[in-house]
Structure 1
C-alpha cells in the first residue's frame, strides 16, 4: 500500500465549470487601497475634465474610470500604459476598478498625456481638500523640499549654452578680422560704411556684413586664404548663426538641454552607492508635505532650489486660495528674494539660511573679525572694527541675482589700518579694510534665527526631514520611481501629479 494513500488533499478540479462564478466584489478585501482610490475619485468633481470631450461620434471610455486606472496603476508601481493594459485583463483589482472595461494602451496613454494636462492639478487639490476635511492632513504648516528626477532623455545628446556662446564669439571675432582686412584692402569702397558692432551678432547682421565685404573685395587682389575664409563664411556662417539662435530660444535662462527632451536640463545628480555626482538630463521636482501627505507639487527646469520657491508657493495659493501659515525648509531656499516674498505673503518664516548652524558654534561666535560679529551703530550708520575704531559708510553697491532680483550692499571702510596691531589677523588686502553689509538681508536673517531657535522652530526643524524627505524616500525606494517615462515638462507634471495622488491615497489606505 502506497504511503501517499493516507494523505488528504484539498479538492483541486481546475476544469470544473462553476454554476455560480465568484463576484469580483467578494474577492477584494474591505480595506484594500483600490477601494480608497475608487471612493475618493467618485467624490471629486471632474466636470472641467468632461468639458474637453466633444459631443457626438462614437462612444468613449469614461474619464473617471481611466483616471482611477491611472492612479491605481501608479499606486501599484505600474507606470507603463502597456502594463496597465495587461493588468486590466489579468488583475482582479484593475478589472473591478474598470468594471471589466478594457481600454488599450493607446487610449490610456492619450488620456494621460492629452486629457489630463490642464486638469490634474485641480483634481489633486480637490483630493487634498477631502483629506483636510477628514482631518487626515493640515495645510497650515508645510515642509518644502526638492529632488532631481532623471528625464526620459539621452544623456549623450546635449546642447550647452556656453558652447553656443563660444561659437558665436568665434564667428564674431573672425568676422571682425575680415572686416578689418577689407578696410585696409578696399578703404575707398567702405568709407561711407559704419564699422559694425561685433559684440552682439545675429544671423541677419552676419549675412549683411559678409555681403558688404564680398562686394568691397570684388575685383581686388585678395590673399588666397582670406578668399577661402570668405567663401566658407558665405556658405556656413548665416545658417550656423540661425541654428545657434534657435538653440538659444530653447535654452531660455538655462545653461543646457537635451536634444531628445528639450525641456530637460542637465543637472548634477548623486547616483551611485558612493554618492558620486553625474550630469544627467533631469527635472527638479518640488513638493510641500504635511504629515507625510503631499499638499503641493511643481516641476522646474532650474536645478537651483532657491529659484523654485516663489513659483512653488504661488501654485499653493492657486490651489487653495490662501497661503500656508508656516513654512519650514532647508538652507537651499534661504535668500533675500525668498525672504521678501515670505514676508509679503505673511507666512511664518522657518526657512534656514547658509551658516545658520555654523553661527551657533562657539568658534564662530567668538571670532571678533567676522563681519557678522562687528558692532553696528544704526543711529550713526557706522560699523566698529575689533579695535573699536569706526568704519565709515562709503556708499551702496548693488548686485543683480541670476533671477533679476536687485540686492543692495552698504560698504564701510576703516580709517587707519596701517598701524593697527591686529591688521594681520583682521584682513590681508592692501589699504584700509572694506566690508559690505546687506542690512535688509540681515534683518530677515535675525527674524528667521529667532523663529528657528524658538520651541516651535526646533519642533519644525526636527519634523522636516521625517516629513518631506521621507516622502521622496518612499517614492524613490519603495515605489522604485527614479526616471520619468514621459517627455516634455507638461507631461512630466502629469506624472508627478499622478505620483502625488497615488502617494496620498496609499497613505490614506494604510
Structure 2
C-alpha cells in the first residue's frame, strides 16, 4: 500500500501571543545590516541643518539615507518601487523601523536634501572602508565611461547652429539695408546707416529693424520686403534672446539637450562591436582601488583628457591628501596632465597616444616614418637638430600655443640650412623651402619620463591591474546593477544619483568580502 505524503504545517491562521520580530528574519551577515551599521557611523549634520524647526514631524534623514542606499544596492531606483518595497519587503521594514515614507518624500529627499551634500557623506564611508582594510587611498586607477541622461534624444542644440543662426540674421539685416540704399539711390539720396548689424542684443536688432522701417516709410517698396520686415520685427529679437540664453547654458560645450541643458550629446557604445549613436549624457570619471570606488566626478565634455585635473583636485579636496600613484589609460596622456601630476608629486603611470603602437613597432623592428621629427638626432648642449643627411637644423625661434583648456605650450622651431639638391628630400619633407620642424621640449621630456615609468616592473604591474580594477567597476554598474540611464535631471541632482550608485557598489563589495 502506497504511503500518504506528509505536508508541512502552515501557520498562517495561527494566533501568536507576541508578534515575531523583524530581526528574526534578517540573517547576521545580510547586506541590509551592513548598510545599517555603516550609515549609523557617519556624520550627517550637514543634512540635518537643512530642516526647519517647528511644524509637523519629519522623517529622520538618517533613516531616509539608509532606505535610499539599500534601495540602490538592490537595484531599486524608482521612488514608487522603493515606497512599495517598504510595505512588502521584510528587510526594508527592518531597516526603516517600519516607517513608510511615500514616493514624494523619498524623491524630494534624494533630489533636494542630498543635493550638494552627498559627496562628503560618500567620502566618510570610503575613509571608514579604508580603515577596515578594504581599500587604500594611496594607489588609484582612473577611467571614464558615459552614462545616458534622462533627456529627450531628439531635442538638441548645437553650439555651431547658434553661431550660424546669428550670422544668418546679421546677413539678412545687411541685405535689407542694401535694399534701402538701392531705393534711395534711385532718388539720389543717402540714408543714415544703422550703427550695428550684429545679432547680439535683442534690443539692438529691434532698433535696427525700426530704423530700416523708418527709412522706407513713404517709399514704394517691394511687397516681399515688407513681409520680411514684419516677420523680422516679430521674430528676430526673441530669436536672438533665445540664442543668448542657449549660449549661456551651453558654455564651452559643442552641444546640449533641451530637456536637460546640463547634458551633452556623446557617442554611446551600444554593444560589443562599439556601434552606437549620439545621446545626451554625462562623462563619469571614477578612481578605484581594489575595485572599490574611491572618488567620482561628472564631466560635461566627451574627452577624458580634460577631466583628469578636476577629478584629481576633487579627490584631494575630499580626503585632504593626494594619492601617491595614479594609473590611467592613453586618453589622459597630455602635456598639461603630466605637468600637473609632476607638480603635485603624484607618481604617474599614464599612457600617451600611440604608446602601444610605439612598443609594437619597436618589438617588430618596423620604422614606417624614419624621417619624422621625433626620429631626428638632437644635441641638447647646442640646441640643434640634425637632418637625415647630417645637416644641422638651428633654432630659429619659438612661440606659445594655447590649448582649449587655456594651457600654454612653448613650441620651438628649427630649420635646415639648405635642402636644395638633397637626394632624400622627397622622403624627408614636402615643403617648398628648407625643412622646418616644431618641437615641444617639455612634452618630449614628460613623455620620456612616462615611458620609463610605464615600462618599469612597477609600471607593468599597475597597467595590468588597471584593466580589472576600474573597468570591472563600470561593468558591474552598467550590467549587474543595470544602471545605464539617470533618472534625475541637472548635473547637481545627477551627481547625487551617481554617488548613491557608487556607495551601493562599495557596500555590495563589502558584503561579498564577508
Regarding TM over 0.5, the answer is: yes
Do 1:365 and 1:373's aligned partners in 2 also have CA atoms closer than 8 Å? no
- Deviation, 1:366, is 7.6
Alpha-carbon distance between aligned partners in 2 of 1:197 and 1:441, rounded to the nearest angstrom: 45
CA contact (8 A) 2:139 2:324 kept: yes
**CA-atom RMSD, angstroms?**
1.9
Q: Which residue of 2 aligns with 1:163?
A: 161
CA distance in 2 between partners of 1:338 and 1:21 (Å): 62
Counterpart mapping for 1:36-435 below 5 A? 36-186=34-184, 193=193, 196=196, 198=198, 201-360=200-359, 361-362=361-362, 363=365, 367-435=369-437
Query: Comparing 85-94 with 201-210, which one deviates more in the overlay?
Result: 201-210
Equivalence for 2:493: 491
Q: Which moved more, 1:374-383 or 1:456-465?
A: 374-383
Distance 1:194 1:175, change over 3 A: closer
| Preserved contact between residue 170 and residue 197 of structure 2 (Cα < 8 Å) | no
Please give the per-residue CA displacement for 1:64-89, whole angstroms capped at 9, x wherever unaligned: 11100100000011111111111111
**How big is the shift at 1:120?**
0.6
* CA–CA distance in structure 2, aligned partners of residues 346 and 217 of structure 1: 70
CA deviation after TM superposition for structure 1 residue 392, in Å: 2.5
Aligned to 2:28, the other structure's residue is in SS state: coil
Question: Does the CA-based 8 Å contact 1:186-1:216 persist in structure 2?
Answer: no
Give per-residue Cα distances to partners, 1:230-277, cap 9 Å, x unaligned. Answer: 332222211111111111111111111111111111100111353212
Provide the residue aligned with 1:471 in structure 2: 473
Distance in 2 (CA, whole Å) between partners of 1:125 and 1:248 is: 35
Contact 1:358–1:364 (Cα < 8 Å) also in 2: no
**1:490 positional shift:** 0.8
Offset, 1:281: 0.7
Partner in structure 2 of residue 11 of structure 1: 9
Identify the range of structure 1 (313-322 vs 269-278) with the bigger mean alpha-carbon deviation: 269-278
TM-score (norm 1): 0.95
In structure 2, distance between residues paired with 1:293 and 1:17: 47
**What is the distance in 2 between the residues matched to 1:189 and 1:316?**
69
CA distance in structure 2 between the aligned counterparts of 1:161 and 1:190, rounded to whole angstroms: 39
Segments of 5+ residues of structure 1 without an aligned counterpart are none
**Native 8 Å contact 1:172 1:201 kept in 2:** no
Task: Name the CA shift for 1:189/1:438 in 2 (closer, same or farther; >3 Å).
Answer: farther
C-alpha distance in 1 between matches for 2:197 and 2:172: 13
1:441-480 residue pairs with structure 2 within 5 A?
A: 441-480=443-482
Structure 1 contact 160–257 (Cα < 8 Å) conserved = yes
CA distance in 2, matches of 1:77, 1:190: 73
State the number of aligned residues.
507
Distance 2:395 2:193 in 1: 49
Is the Cα–Cα contact under 8 Å of residues 190 and 216 in structure 1 kept in the other structure? no
Over residues 336-356 of structure 1, what are the superposed CA-to-partner deviations in whole Å (9 max), with x where a residue is unaligned? 121222122111111111011
Shift of 1:144: 0.6
Deviation at 1:194, TM superposition (A): 6.7
* Larger mean Cα displacement after TM superposition, 205-214 or 309-318: 205-214
Structure 1 residue 416, shift from structure 2 partner: 2.2
Quote the offset at 1:374 in angstroms.
0.9
1:57 Cα offset (Å) = 1.0
In structure 2, relative to structure 1, the CA distance for the partners of 1:380 and 1:181 (3 Å cut) is farther
Distance 2:194 2:205 in 1: 15
1:278 counterpart SS class: strand
Structure 1 residue 229 displacement after superposition:
2.7
Residues 1:192 and 1:175: Cα distance change in structure 2 (over 3 Å): closer
1: distance between equivalents of 2:96 and 2:366? Answer: 62
Deviation readout 1:2-56 (Å, 9 max, x if unpaired): x4x4322222343222334332112111111111101111111111111111111
